Amino acid sequence: MVGTLIKRIERAEQDFGDSPCERCRDTIIVWGVGKAGDEPAVTRRGIQLGREESKRFYFEEQPGGVRPECGRVREQVTVRWGPGSSAQRA
């Protein structure tokens, strides 16, 4: 399942291109990773930001997902887990 998600992200990057903006380049925001499922997790250039830093980064783009430095709107992709879904766990 993880491999499938990586392939989908790579395909989206090819289709939409990556941002020339230093803040936005190679950045992925995943929503719903906290204990209550209501917190963002931000990964920039392969490094996951801490909890508070992820929240701050995400909320700088609200409302509407507009990036503060370049003004582009962040692409949003919804992934739904359903019956039969599985994730590889270490």
pLDDT 10s digit of each residue in the chain, 90 long? 567 777 777 776 665 556 678 888 888 888 876 565 678 888 888 889 999 999 999 998 888 888 888 888 887 777 666 676 655 444
Residue 13 to residues 3, 33, 60, 88, Cα–Cα distance (Å): 15, 22, 22, 23
Output the pTM of the full model: 0.62
